[in-house]
A and B are shown apart, each in its own frame.
Chain A
Amino acid sequence: MKSVRNLYVIVTGVVAVSLLAGGLAEWLDSGTEEGGRFAGYVQRVPVVPACHIVGAVGVIWLGWYWLKLAGGITSIARRLKANSIMDSRFRGNDKRKASGNAVIDELSEALSEALVRYSNVIGELEKQINDLQIQIQLTQRQKGNIEAIIYSIHDGVIVIDEFDRLLMANEAAGGLFNFNFRSSQHRRIGELIDEGKSEFVDFLRQSRQSKAQPTRKEIEFLEDGKLKTFDCIVSCIYDESRQVCGVVAVLHDVTREKQISQIKNDFVNHVCHELKTPLASISAYSEMLSDGEAKDGRTRKEFYAVIQNQAIRLNRLIEDVLNISRIESGLVKVDKGPVSLTILIEEQLQMIKSYAEEKNICLKDIGQSRIVFDQVYADKDMISQVIVNLLSNAVKYTPSGGSIKIETEVDETANVARLSVTDTGVGIPENEIEHVFDKFYRVSTNKNQAKGTGLGLNLVKQIVEKVHDGRVFVSSKPGAGSTFGFELPLATREVVESLPVTSRG
């Protein structure tokens, strides 16, 4: 481009000098004195025609050069308009017929349009940049939220890459495996988890190598000296080419669920056993009767009585299970009214008397307030059930020759009536006392002392606390005996007096 420009300057100079020389030669030829002297030197050569020829050639060249320049500019303008819908306007100008002004106008117009278009493009880009920035902020916020969620999940979450290096772990996982995520990131998982929990590491590796769909395994760890069970679900993470690039593991503590499941299984076993025992008697005695094994009328009568008693026992057990279930689900029908604990105790003592006498156990009823003020607002049948359960338990776990003391007292300050049953039985170890009211719980050391379902005391607690807003209590000393009892809110005087005399107690 530079050489072309230089050439243009030279040619322009030559044309100008030629034209000047031609003019000068004509001036000399005009006959002036100074011209006549100089003409003498130049008349020897054909200066004027030469100058005119050179000038003419120069003018032609300049014209050609100008056309070429115009064509170049037009081409630039056309390129600028290449993507424009205005492009068609230039197609007719290919023959480079446009004049200089027209080309400049076109160029100006094209430049303006390009400027507008690029301004629009820049505007669009700025908008897209803004959108992207917003999206980045949103993504970062979402990432933060997801991280916060993952970190706050109670279950342990661990992510490792294809080389077993730790990519992410939440606080629960860190606590479970005793590592700090920040300082442990990118370390191999096998180095972070101690050997006692290596079953989990092996499971992660197996799941990754098998490239399987989510796999599940129950793994047991010893944590703080306690055996805990975790439900581990491991899923492979795939990259765009469907290659496994890591695994994510979620560890859910199912220790409690396992315990509940065990309790339920124990319950089913207990209930089945307890149901089968009277059923076995009913079945055996019925068969004996139908086979004519009861030889005389007395024996037959005895067999019928056994069948009847065992059927009652079976029904009572079913009722116990159903009552607990009803109370727990809130479906129990409660028929509350003012009842006297003293009268209920007397009734239940009559029922339990023969059982106590069989075992040579002395029953002592120490009623403090044999008056109307020990009345509580309660469901009579339910409280009778509570009293009989406490009394029969006491007889059951008291050795022959022992004694059982039943006490009632009215605490007007606390506005409660209190009943306690104290025996001289085997007692309960201290570490087991807090569980004695649990459903199906049986004191380990006393299991073999007597049969039971582990439902009686739970029913007592449910009836007293859930149905009557009362409180159960227990104290015991192994080998010395136990005291079980309950408190119920006293019936208000207004309630008692509002009822007819016959219905009291």
Chain B
Amino acid sequence: MSRKRVLIVDDEIHIVHVVAIKLRNNDYEVISADNGAEAFELACSEKPDIIVTDFQMPVMTGLELVEKVRQCEETKDIPVILLTARNFAIEEQQQEDLQISQCLSKPFSPKELLENIEDILYHRAVVNRQV
């Protein structure tokens, strides 16, 4: 079974670094970007299994990135986890519309993030098998 690929997007280099270490230690392949625009290009070219993105970033915000990902045929089904330091950053309806799998509030636990990633990928695999 091939390693799952995770795209981490955050302009805080330390956050990217710590999440990457946590995921690599758990046998994930990690690619990263520090803004939404760069992340979208990577999503199109590298086809990650899941995207973990910060909400507020320069050039393109996390929300703008998710909107773009959902509009693109090649990336529209990629599950997304949104990390945010803002409370009530998005409404439930918006989360549903953009098919954001999970919103995690900063400060977050890398362990909790890993568990969320595993859950989402597991459910996706089950659904894909059923289809």
Please state if A293 and B59 are interface contacts (CB–CB under 8 Å): no
| Residue of A269, A282, A288, A295 with most chain B CB atoms under a 10 A cut-off | A288
Min CB distance A359 to B, Å, is: 13
Residues of B within 8 A of A284 (CB): 14-15, 18-19, 107-110
Whether A276 is near chain B, meaning CB under 8 Å from some CB there, is: yes
B106 CB, nearest partner CB in chain A, Å: 4
Interface size classification for chain A: 20 to 34
Within A294-316, the residues touching B (CB, 8 Å) are: 294-295, 299, 303, 306, 310
CB distance B85 to A272 under 8 Å? yes
Residues of A within 8 A of B29 (CB): none
- Interface status of A120 (Cβ within 8 A of chain B): no
Q: Which residue of A lies closest to B109 (CB)?
A: A287
Cβ of A68 within 8 Å of any chain B Cβ, yes or no, is no
Whether A280 contacts B86 by the Cβ 8 Å rule is no
Query: Which one of A88-96, A224-232, A235-243, A445-453 is at the interface?
Result: A445-453
Contact B25 A293 (CB under 8 A): yes
Would A448 and B109 count as touching, CB distance under 8 A? no
- Are B85 and A288 in contact, with the CB atoms below 8 A? no
- Is A497 in the interface zone, CB < 8 Å from B? no
Q: How far, in Å, is B84 (CB) from chain A's closest CB?
A: 9
With a CB–CB cut-off of 8 A, which chain A residues contact B19? 284
Q: Is A384 at the interface (CB under 8 A from chain B)?
A: no
Q: Judge whether A277 and B85 touch: CB under 8 Å.
A: yes
Compute how far the CA of A329 lies from the CA of B19 in the bound complex, rounded to whole angstroms: 42
Tell me if B58 and A448 are in contact (CB < 8 A).
yes
Cβ of A400 within 8 Å of any chain B Cβ, yes or no, is: no
Q: Nearest chain A CB to B6's CB is how many angstroms away? A: 15
Q: Residues of A contacting B18 with CB < 8 Å?
A: 281, 284-285, 288, 303, 306
| Docked CA distance A294–B18 (Å) | 10
Q: Would you call A269 and B86 a contact (CB within 8 A)?
A: yes
B107 A280 Cβ-Cβ under 8 A: yes
Contact of B111 with A310 in the complex, beta carbons under 8 Å:
no
Q: Any chain A CB within 8 A of the CB of B12?
A: yes
User: Is A273 a contact of B21 with CB atoms below 8 Å?
Assistant: no
In the assembled complex, the Cα of A240 lies from the Cα of B66 at a distance in Å of: 66
Chain A contact surface mostly: helix
Q: B87 is contacted by which of A272, A282, A306, A448 (Cβ under 8 Å)?
A: A272
State in angstroms the CA–CA spacing of A26 and B105 once bound together. Answer: 149
A294 surroundings in chain B (CB, below 8 A): 21
What is the CB-to-nearest-CB distance from B102 to chain A, in angstroms, rounded to a whole number?
A: 16
Say whether A310 contacts B14, CB under 8 Å.
yes
A368 in contact (CB, < 8 A)? no
Answer yes or no: B22 CB below 8 A from chain A CBs.
yes
Within 8 Å by CB of A272, from B15, B57, B86, B108, lies B86
| Residue in chain A with minimal CB distance to B14 | A281
Of B22, B87, B108, which contacts A288 at CB under 8 A? B22
Interface size on B, residues (CB 8 A): 25
- Is there contact, CB below 8 Å, between A306 and B14? yes
**Cβ-defined partner of B111 (8 Å) among A277, A287, A303, A448:** A287
Which residues of chain B have C-beta atoms less than 8 A from A279's C-beta?
106-107
> CB of B53 within 8 A of chain A?
no
Q: Does A291 contact B (CB under 8 A)?
A: yes
**CA–CA, A273 to B56, complex, Å?**
9
Chain A residues, Cβ within 8 Å of B22: 288, 293
Which one of B17, B61, B86, B107 contacts A283 once the chains associate, using CB atoms below 8 Å?
B107
Highest count of chain B CB atoms <10 Å: which of A269, A284, A287, A310? A284
Interchain CA distance A162-B60 in the complex, whole Å: 58
Query: Please, which residue of chain B has its CB at the minimum distance from the CB of A302?
Result: B17
Contacts of A282 in B (CB 8 A): 107
Nearest B residue to A450 by beta-carbon distance?
B58
B15, B17, B87, B107 — most chain A CB neighbours (10 Å): B107
* Interface 0/1 of B61-72, CB less than 8 Å to A: 100000000000
Contacts of B25 in A (CB 8 A): 293, 295
B85 to A291, Cβ gap below 8 A? Answer: no
Contact with A along B18-53 (1 / 0, CB 8 A): 110110010000000000000000000000000000
Q: Which residues of A contact B111 (CB under 8 A)?
A: 287, 291
Name the A residues within 8 Å of B87 (CB-CB): 272
On whether the beta carbons of B60 and A276 are closer than 8 Å, the reply is no
- Quick one: which of B82-131 are within 8 Å of A by CB? 85-87, 106-111
User: Which of A287, A306, A449 meets B58, CB within 8 Å?
Assistant: A449
Contact, CB under 8 Å: A288 / B12? no
Contacts of B85 in A (CB 8 A): 272-273, 276-277, 280
Q: How far is the CB of B37 from chain A (nearest CB, A)?
A: 10
B112's nearest neighbour on chain A, judged by CB, is A287
Query: How many angstroms between the C-alpha atoms of A295 and B22 in the bound complex?
Result: 11
Given contacts A272-B87, A273-B86, A277-B12, contact A283 B109 (CB under 8 A): yes
Q: What residue of chain A has the Cβ atom nearest to residue B12's Cβ?
A: A277
Within the complex, what minimum Cβ distance (angstroms) separates A119 from chain B? 85
A279–B18 CA distance with the chains assembled, in angstroms: 13
Q: A277-B85, A448-B60 are in contact. Are A287 and B110 (CB under 8 A)?
A: yes
| Minimal beta-carbon separation of B76 from chain A (angstroms) | 24
24 pairs, CB–CB < 8 Å, chain A vs chain B: A269-B86, A272-B86, A272-B87, A277-B106, A280-B12, A280-B108, A281-B12, A281-B15, A284-B14, A284-B15, A284-B108, A284-B110, A287-B109, A287-B111, A288-B22, A288-B110, A294-B21, A303-B18, A306-B14, A447-B58, A448-B60, A449-B58, A450-B58, A451-B11
**A-binding residues in B (CB < 8 A):** 11-12, 14-15, 17-19, 21-22, 25, 56-61, 85-87, 106-111
